[in-house]
Structure 1
Amino acid sequence: MIRTEIKTKSSIVRIHDEYCNAPSEGCISHLNQIVSNYYKRRNTTEEAVAVQDENTVSQ
């Protein structure tokens, strides 16, 4: 069950929780920062692994 849906130009956040009240703007900003940080870490890790793989193949 979708409790709340927040749309922006670049994303849609759907909160699936029957116990959730409508989130405040501060809460959404905080959640956005958490998700952004996760993707930044994931992309950095993937790039590091790709470089390491390239170095291993080159040797």
Structure 2
Amino acid sequence: MPRKKHKPEEIVAKLRRVDVMLSQGRPVAEAIRAIGVTAFTYYLYGRLSRRKPVLN
């Protein structure tokens, strides 16, 4: 299966969707499956979203 590189806007939307599902009491594994990424990708997205932007 070909790999898909998600745009930053898509990543933010997916992370928000997971947050909503978690607040509704769904398990993390179920929420991750619902957005269509692996657990590793989900945690990578979380790490990337917390990074501070580099200012030039």
Identify the TM-score tier after normalising by the shorter chain.
0.3 to 0.5
Q: Identify, as 1 or 2, the structure richer in helix.
A: 2
Q: Which has the higher contact order (CA 8 A, sep 6+)?
A: 2
Q: TM-score, normalised by structure 2?
A: 0.40
Structure that is richer in strand per residue: 1
TM-score, length of structure 1 as denominator length:
0.38
**Larger Rg computed on CA atoms:** 1
